[in-house]
Amino acid sequence: MSSNSNYKAGRHFLQIPGPSNVPDSVLRAMAKPVIDHRGPEFPALTQSILEKLKPVFNTQSNVFIYPASGTGGWECALLNCLSPGDKVLAFETGHFATLWKDVAEKLGLHILWMPGDWRHGINPMLVQEKLTEDSNYEIKAVLAVHTETSTGVTSRIGEIRQAMDAAKHPALFMVDAVSSLACTEYQHDDWGVDVTVSASQKGLMLPPGLSFNAVSELALERAAENQGMHSYWRWDAMLEHNQRGYFPYTPSTNLLYGLEEALNLLHREGLDNVYARHSRFAAATRAALAGWELENVCLNPAEFCNSTTAVMMPEGYDADDLREDILSRFDMSLGTGLGRLKGLVFRIGHLGDFNELMLMGTLSGVEMGLKLGDVPHRTGGVQQAMDALIGS
Amino acid sequence: MSSNSNYKAGRHFLQIPGPSNVPDSVLRAMAKPVIDHRGPEFPALTQSILEKLKPVFNTQSNVFIYPASGTGGWECALLNCLSPGDKVLAFETGHFATLWKDVAEKLGLHILWMPGDWRHGINPMLVQEKLTEDSNYEIKAVLAVHTETSTGVTSRIGEIRQAMDAAKHPALFMVDAVSSLACTEYQHDDWGVDVTVSASQKGLMLPPGLSFNAVSELALERAAENQGMHSYWRWDAMLEHNQRGYFPYTPSTNLLYGLEEALNLLHREGLDNVYARHSRFAAATRAALAGWELENVCLNPAEFCNSTTAVMMPEGYDADDLREDILSRFDMSLGTGLGRLKGLVFRIGHLGDFNELMLMGTLSGVEMGLKLGDVPHRTGGVQQAMDALIGS
| B258-281 tens-digit pLDDT | 999 999 999 999 999 999 999 999
Looking at CA atoms only, how far is residue A233 from chain B in angstroms?
A: 9
Choose the mutation target among B36, B79, B204 for the interface with A, i.e. most A CBs under 10 Å.
B36
Q: Does the pLDDT of residue B5 top 70, yes or no?
A: no
Q: Does the pLDDT of residue A4 top 60, yes or no?
A: no
Q: Does the pLDDT of residue A63 top 70, yes or no?
A: yes
A4-13, A89-98, B31-40, B112-121, range with the lowest pLDDT: A4-13
Confidence of residue A227 (pLDDT cuts 50, 70, 90): confident
Say which residues have a Cβ less than 8 Å from residue B326's Cβ, sequence separation at least 6: B332, B334, B365, B366, B368, B369
Alpha carbon of residue A14 to chain centroid: 16
When CB atoms are compared, the residue of A75, A231, A255 closest to B106 is: A231
Size of interface A-B (CB pairs under 8 A): 190
- Mean pLDDT of all residues belonging to chain B: 96
User: According to the model, what pLDDT value does residue A3 have?
Assistant: 60
A22 and B34 within 8 Å at the Cβ level: the answer is: yes
Confidence of residue A374 (pLDDT cuts 50, 70, 90): very high
Identify the architecture of domain B25-267 in CATH.
Answer: 3-Layer(aba) Sandwich (3.40)
User: Under DSSP, is residue A256 helix (H, G, I), strand (E, B) or coil?
Assistant: helix
Q: How far apart are CA A345 and CA B38, in angstroms?
A: 15
Cβ atoms of B86 and B110 within 8 Å: the answer is: yes
User: According to the model, what pLDDT value does residue B269 have?
Assistant: 96
Q: Does the pLDDT of residue A364 top 60, yes or no?
A: yes
Q: How far apart are CA A158 and CA A275, in angstroms?
A: 17
User: Under DSSP, is residue B268 helix (H, G, I), strand (E, B) or coil?
Assistant: helix
User: According to the model, what pLDDT value does residue B313 have?
Assistant: 98
Q: Does the pLDDT of residue B37 top 90, yes or no?
A: yes
- Mean pLDDT of all residues belonging to chain A: 96
Confidence of residue A228 (pLDDT cuts 50, 70, 90): confident
When CB atoms are compared, the residue of A39, A251, A333 closest to B208 is: A251
Say which residues have a Cβ less than 8 Å from residue A274's Cβ, sequence separation at least 6: A182, A183, A203, A266
Query: What confidence tens digit (pLDDT) does each residue in B334-369 have?
Result: 999 999 999 999 999 999 999 999 999 999 999 999
Q: Cα angle at A34 between B261 and B50, to 5 degrees?
A: 30
CATH code of the domain made up of A24-267: 3.40.640.10
Q: What φ, ψ does residue A91 adopt, rounded to 5°?
A: -130, 130
A38 and B336 within 8 Å at the Cβ level: the answer is: yes
Which candidate, B68, B16, B74, B53, places its Cα nearest to that of B259?
A: B53
| Buried/exposed code over B47-76 (b: 16+ C-beta within 10 A; e: otherwise) | ebbbebbbebbbbebbbbbbbbbbbbbbbb
Q: Enumerate the β-bridge partners of residue A112.
A: A89
Alpha carbon of residue A145 to chain centroid: 9
Q: Does the pLDDT of residue B61 top 60, yes or no?
A: yes
Looking at CA atoms only, how far is residue A90 from chain B in angstroms?
A: 18
Q: How far apart are CA B198 and CA B211, in angstroms?
A: 6
Q: Does the pLDDT of residue A165 top 80, yes or no?
A: yes
A69 and B35 within 8 Å at the Cβ level: the answer is: no
- Output the CA torsion B94→B343→A49→B9 (10° steps): -120
Q: Could you write out the DSSP letters of every residue in A126-164? A: HHHHHHHH-TT--EEEEEEESEETTTTEE--HHHHHHHH
Q: How far apart are CA A139 and CA A171, in angstroms?
A: 6
Q: How far apart are CA A363 and CA A326, in angstroms?
A: 11
Q: What φ, ψ does residue B198 adopt, rounded to 5°?
A: -145, -175
Q: Residue range B229-253: average pLDDT?
A: 96
Cβ atoms of B22 and B257 within 8 Å: the answer is: no
Choose the mutation target among A1, A15, A252 for the interface with B, i.e. most B CBs under 10 Å.
A252
Enumerate the residues of chain B whose CB falls inside 8 A of the CB of residue A248. Answer: 71
Q: How far apart are CA B249 and CA B57, in angstroms?
A: 24
B68 and A68 within 8 Å at the Cβ level: the answer is: yes
When CB atoms are compared, the residue of A16, A103, A231 closest to B36 is: A16
Looking at CA atoms only, how far is residue B385 from chain A in angstroms?
A: 25
For the purposes of burial, counting CB atoms within 10 Å of the CB of B348, is it exposed (0-12), middle (13-18) or buried (19 or more)? buried
Radius of gyration of chain A (CA): 21
Domain B13-20+270-390 has CATH 3.40.190.10: no
User: According to the model, what pLDDT value does residue B178 have?
Assistant: 98
User: According to the model, what pLDDT value does residue B150 have?
Assistant: 97
Q: Cα angle at B88 between B198 and A72, to 5 degrees?
A: 45
Query: What confidence tens digit (pLDDT) does each residue in A67-111 have?
Result: 999 999 999 999 999 999 999 999 999 999 999 999 999 999 999
**Could you state, in order of their start, the residue ranges of all structural domains in chain B?**
13-20+270-390, 25-267
Answer yes or no: same fold for B13-20+270-390 and B25-267: no
- Tell me which amino acid residue B352 is: G
Query: What confidence tens digit (pLDDT) does each residue in A232-273 have?
Result: 999 999 999 999 999 999 999 999 999 999 999 999 999 999
- Complex ipTM: 0.92
Task: Specify the DSSP class assigned to residue B122.
Answer: -
Query: What confidence tens digit (pLDDT) does each residue in A112-153 have?
Result: 999 999 999 999 999 999 999 999 999 999 999 999 999 999
Q: Does the pLDDT of residue B392 top 70, yes or no?
A: no
Q: Does the pLDDT of residue A46 top 80, yes or no?
A: yes
Say which residues have a Cβ less than 8 Å from residue A6's Cβ, sequence separation at least 6: none
| Buried/exposed code over B96-124 (b: 16+ C-beta within 10 A; e: otherwise) | bbbbbbebbbbbbbeeebbebebbbbbbb
**How far is the first Cα of chain B from the last one, in angstroms, to the nearest whole number?**
48
Q: Enumerate the β-bridge partners of residue A153.
A: A148
Q: How far apart are CA A284 and CA A391, in angstroms?
A: 10
User: According to the model, what pLDDT value does residue A2 have?
Assistant: 54
User: According to the model, what pLDDT value does residue A170 have?
Assistant: 97
| Neighbouring C-beta atoms of residue B24, cutoff 10 Å | 11
User: According to the model, what pLDDT value does residue B7 have?
Assistant: 75
Percent of chain A with pLDDT over 90: 96
H runs (alpha helix) in B294-392: 319-330, 356-372, 381-390
User: According to the model, what pLDDT value does residue B3 have?
Assistant: 59
Choose the mutation target among B32, B105, B176, B254 for the interface with A, i.e. most A CBs under 10 Å.
B254
Q: Residue range B183-208: average pLDDT?
A: 98
Q: Could you write out the DSSP letters of every residue in B51-72? A: HHHHHHHT-SSEEEEEES-HHH
Looking at CA atoms only, how far is residue A99 from chain B in angstroms?
A: 10
